[in-house]
Amino acid sequence: MTIYRALTIAGSAARGGAGIQADIKTFQERDVFGMSAITAIVAPHPITRSGIFPQSIEAIEAQYYTAVNDIGIDALKTGMLFSEEVILRVAELLEEKKFENLVVDPVIIGKMGSQLLKDDAVNAMKEKLFPLAKMITPNMPEAAKLLNILELKSINDMKEAAIELHKLGPHYVLIKGGRLKGPAIDILYDGNTFEMFEAERIDTINTNGAGCTYSAAITAELAKGKSVHEAVKIAKDFITVAIRHSLSFKDQVGPTNHSAYRKYNH
Ligand code: PXL
């Protein structure tokens, strides 16, 4: 039996619903062997107020090479990379050995408002990482930030943004319409045609880690050799059910439910 393997290069979210934790849970749920290279630890300290603890370049390299050399990789994704220095090094590593199935989730700002990518790192992400990606998966605010525009408001804005982002080099651009009014419509663009993936809008605030989970599900399906169309279709179902059954702890913005697709979808 073939075991498919996926790596996430991202931040560790101590709350358990986003970042590395969301990715690994999702890989497991989609029957893919998950590995991690942690770029930073995200955990708000109640007294010192520090919330982001970056890992050294050496530590990131060590984790990456361990995954590549000891296990092997069928697909990988990047999430929170935090600094220009990390982006440049990760891009170098991914140039050194190229992977067809690279999903770049351009994590910039978390749902709780924390800045997960420094402002001066946005250009490095666009110039060095996007050209290596099979797919980039910005949400609407991220797409706006990447293109230096104020806001995306409509499907038409999303389509125009997808065309501009595609020029930066990824094979596919998936803009996630979580912030639209009405149904949650995502736009996939391959440089030629647009494809829409639509799901009902679920009225909940508990969507912490939704973006991470969605892109991890896409990565897992690509690891198994699924087409981009199939991977996004399955991942869209996965995240929709995970949001429908999202979790609520202690009045915070809660996480999506990573086991919901397995438990409730069939
Ligand atoms: O959901 C965005 C995200 C990504 N990565 C890490 C996070 C978050 C949001 O909480 O903590 C590590």
Cβ 13 under 6 angstroms from ligand 1? yes
* H or E, element range at 23: helix 19-29
Q: What is the pLDDT of residue 57?
A: 98
Residue 251 lies in a domain: yes
Which residue lies with its CA nearest to atom 5 of ligand 1? 19
How distant, in Å, are the alpha carbons of 1, 55, 79, 85, 182 from that of 16?
30, 18, 15, 26, 29
Expressed in angstroms and rounded, the spacing between residue 199 Cα and the centre of ligand 1 is 23
Residue 122 CB less than 6 A away from ligand 1: no
Token representation of residue 117: 């990518």
| Residue 81, ligand 1, Cβ within 6 A | no
Residue 137 belongs to some domain of the structure: yes
- What is the distance between the alpha carbons of residues 11 and 117, in angstroms, rounded to a whole number? 11
Answer yes or no: is the C-beta of 116 below 6 A from any ligand 1 atom. Answer: yes
Structural domain contains residue 64 = yes
Residue 163 in any domain: the answer is: yes
Q: How do 172-175 and 184-189 pair as beta strands?
A: antiparallel
Residue 79 beta carbon below 6 angstroms from any ligand 1 atom? yes
For ligand 1, whether the C-beta of 106 sits within 6 Å is no
**Residue 195: phi, psi to the nearest 5?**
-125, 140
Cα(117) to centroid(ligand 1), Å: 10
Question: What is the best residue among 24, 36, 212 to mutate for testing ligand 1's pocket, by most ligand atoms within 8 Å of CB?
Answer: 212
Give the span between the Cα atoms of 256 and 112, in whole angstroms: 14
Is 266 a member of any domain? no
Regarding the beta carbon of 209 and ligand 1, being less than 6 Å apart is answered yes
* Ligand 1, atom 9, residue with closest C-alpha: 110
Grouped pLDDT means (10 residues each) for the chain, 266 residues = 96 97 98 98 92 97 98 98 97 97 93 82 97 98 95 96 98 94 95 97 94 98 98 98 96 94 86
In a domain? residue 55: yes
Does a structural domain hold residue 164? yes
Contact between residue 221 and residue 30 where contact means Cβ atoms under 8 Å apart:
yes
CA of 48 to the centre of ligand 1 (A): 20
Domain assignment present for residue 226? The answer is yes
What is the 3-class SS of 226-257, one letter each residue?
CCHHHHHHHHHHHHHHHHHCCCCCCCCCCECC
Range of the domain at 107: 5-261
What pLDDT score does 129 carry? 98
Centre a 10 Å sphere on the Cβ of residue 129 and count the other Cβ atoms it contains: 23
Q: What is the CATH number of the domain that holds 191?
A: 3.40.1190.20
Count structural domains, the chain. 1
CB-facing half-sphere around the CA of 138: CA atoms within 13 A:
27
What integer pLDDT is reported at residue 266 of this predicted model? Answer: 56
The DSSP annotation for 123-192 comes to HHIIIIIGGG-SEE--BHHHHHHHTT-S---SHHHHHHHHHHHHTTS-SEEEEB-TTSSSSEEEEEE-SS
- Residue 264 CA from chain centroid, whole number: 23
Residues 266 and 259: beta-carbon distance below 8 Å: no
For residue 255, list its beta bridge partners.
208
Strand partners, 163: none
